[in-house]
Amino acid sequence: MFGGDHIYKMDVRQMFDVHLSRDAHATVAVIPVPVHEAKAFGVLEVDAKGRVIAFEEKPSIPKEIPGRPGFALASMGNYIFETGVLVDELTRDASGDSAHDFGRNILPDMVGRGAKVYAYDFSTNEIQGSHPNERGYWRDVGTIASYWQANMDQVQVVPPFDLYNSRWPIRTWTRPLPPAKFVFADPGTGQGHARMGIATDSLVSEGCIISGGRIDRCVLSPLVRINSFAHVEESVLMDDVDVGRHARIRRAIIDKGVRIPGGTEIGYDPELDARRFTVADGIVVVPKGYRF
């Protein structure tokens, strides 16, 4: 599932079964995260039966999980409510001085009034045909670095978020484009550079052409073209990006429709990158339609 700024897989039926078994007013999906990361999320404190006894949004000092020091329970932003309860809570919240937010207002208020709010541990969710590495995979992609890392997760030999599990297919819309194509097989001689269309540890979408260039650990959206002698590493390229000859790119996110001139370097000179683009945690972002 892709929910808001989060990426994860969940069999929601399992969470719903737990919700019903507890006769809960509301159930919150949670995931254990390191305490230093939990400061960015809503953090729950639960009793021995999983009932939520405190709910704090983005605390400066997150409450640790009892018996598991260094970790806190972060809300995933997924909730199941009893219909009547939800209507009552939304009505109550609408009439008060509130930011009208589940994590900041509605759920903490319910917990404070003693409502039966329970936590559902997402790490217990079972997905058919999944690899053990996938259990509990959840990524917040609200920052540039986390979005880039979520894409890099996909190019691992055994990815922690498997797009190829036939027993749990991820269905999406596909455009009527031709298959990806890799052309030229000239290894070069003497001082000449190799002109070979190569992709290693990468995801290459339909309509892409790797025309004598090379990509390593990349995610290419449809209609990307990598021209001769170009080299792109650890990057995410959106639709219809064209990388010119002899260009070098690494650790970048290139948005749609960008035409990168031949010989351009991105990700090699931090000062030059910072003058031209947004740079966050070493990741260079080239905006949509940027003109060099």
For 191-243, write each residue's pLDDT tens digit.
667 899 999 999 999 999 999 999 999 999 999 999 999 999 999 999 999 99
The pLDDT of residue 2:
41
The pLDDT of residue 95:
85
The pLDDT of residue 189:
67
Q: How many CA atoms lie within 13 A of 53 on its CB side?
A: 8
CA distances from 43 to 61, 67, 95 (A): 10, 16, 26
pTM, full prediction: 0.86
Q: What is the DSSP letter of 170?
A: -
The pLDDT of residue 103:
87
The domain spans of the chain are 2-129, 181-286
Instruction: Identify the CATH number of the domain defined by range 181-286.
Output: 2.160.10.10
Q: Do domains 2-129 and 181-286 have the same CATH topology?
A: no
The pLDDT of residue 8:
87
Instruction: Please state which architecture CATH assigns to domain 2-129.
Output: Alpha-Beta Complex (3.90)
**Apex CA 40: angle with CA 34 and CA 42, to 5°?**
90
Where the chain has pLDDT below 70, the residues are 1-4, 189-192
